[in-house]
Amino acid sequence: MSESPEELKKMPASSNELSEEIEFVHEMTDRELLSGPNRRRRDLSLLIGVMRDFMRGFRALHFVGPCITVFGSARFKEDHPYYIMARELGAGIVKRGFTVMTGGGPGIMEAANRGAKDADGRSVGCNIELPFEQSGNPYLDRWVTMEHFFVRKVLLLKYSYGFVIMPGGFGTMDEMFETLTLIQTKKIRNFPIVVMGLDFWKEMRAFMDHMIEGATISPGDIDLILWTDSVEKAVKHLADRAEKQFGLRSTKVPRGSLLLGEQELKD
């Protein structure tokens, strides 16, 4: 019979593999949360940590105004065409009165935040603690760092009225399909989604057509996405759908309470 993760923790390390596994799990809190059963008290403590993550994000991002979230790879440098495209996109978004929100890291995220600052707009990030690759970028008016990926994804969705999918890897695909699934299943409204980088995503688009042919998605599901490489078309689609569909005033920003020590994000 195999031992539970909690039982393994109690056992003396009989091999390097067991020692490495225990060290791996305890290195980051979310690893322990996902590692299997824990003692009830420890699970309660982990749950409180998740709640703390949410509350930290709520208080940091409540006053940033209506957002457009830009997803994309952390690995593109500033001379890459996709970085340049994302920077132009960030500027275009804030010129329509929206706040640019990203994962707060380098690459595409930095480019979109940088474009927002180029145009004197609002720029925010929701970062994640990782042992590699991810770090905050210098073009943020406000940011918050999460321990848990799923909390971060909720925050990136919660404050946004539209989404842009730039070229990226597993994380970008995860964010893309989570957003599409939430819209498809009516968990959130039919927010506009724009996919940019047509050459990069061409196989993905073909595979979506394959899913339609296999009846695993409906033809209408693919209509949720605008595919384009035009920054102008992307910004117009996002703004028109967000403003007209939801009656949104793109310049409206919630007011903070001085009594509660809440800080608004100034233009």
pLDDT digits (tens, 9 = 90+) for 62-115: 889 899 999 999 999 999 999 999 999 999 999 999 999 999 999 999 999 999
Residue 2 banded pLDDT, cuts 50, 70, 90: very low
pLDDT value of residue 18: 47
The phi, psi pair for 162, rounded to 5°, reads -175, 160
In terms of pLDDT, which residue wins out, 31 or 252? 31
Give percent of the chain with pLDDT exceeding 90. Answer: 64
d(C-alpha 214, C-alpha 47), whole Å: 40
The predicted structure's pLDDT at residue 1: 44
* CB 67 within 8 Å of CB 96: no
What pLDDT score was predicted for residue 17? 55
Of the pLDDT bands very low, low, confident and very high (cuts 50, 70, 90), residue 6 is low
Report the C-alpha gap between 215 and 210 in whole angstroms: 9
Strand locations in the chain (E): 67-71, 99-102, 123-128, 142-146, 160-165, 193-195, 225-227
As a whole number, mean pLDDT of residues 43-52 equals 92
Region of poorest pLDDT, from 29-38, 103-112, 149-158 = 29-38
pLDDT band at 238 (very low <50, low <70, confident <90, very high): very high
* pLDDT digit string, tens, across residues 183-232: 999 999 889 999 999 999 999 999 999 999 999 999 989 888 999 999 99
Instruction: Compare 6 and 178 and report the one with higher pLDDT.
Output: 178
Q: pTM to 2 decimals?
A: 0.84
- Domains within the chain, CATH numbers bracketed: 65-246 (3.40.50.450)
Average pLDDT value for the chain: 86
* Adjacency order of strands within the sheet including 67-71: 142-146, 123-128, 99-102, 67-71, 160-165, 193-195, 225-227
Tokens of 22: 């225990």
Token pair of 138 as six digits: 């210098």
Pick from 172, 138, 161: nearest CA to 235 = 161
Measured distance CA(50)–CA(73) in Å, rounded: 26
pLDDT category at 15 given cuts 50, 70, 90 is low
Helix or strand or coil: residue 160?
strand
| CA pair distance 261, 267, nearest whole angstrom | 19
DSSP character at residue 227? E
- Spatial CB neighbours of 23, under 8 Å, sequence gap ≥ 6: none
Map residue 18 onto helix, strand or coil.
Answer: helix
Q: Which two tokens stand for residue 64?
A: 């940033």
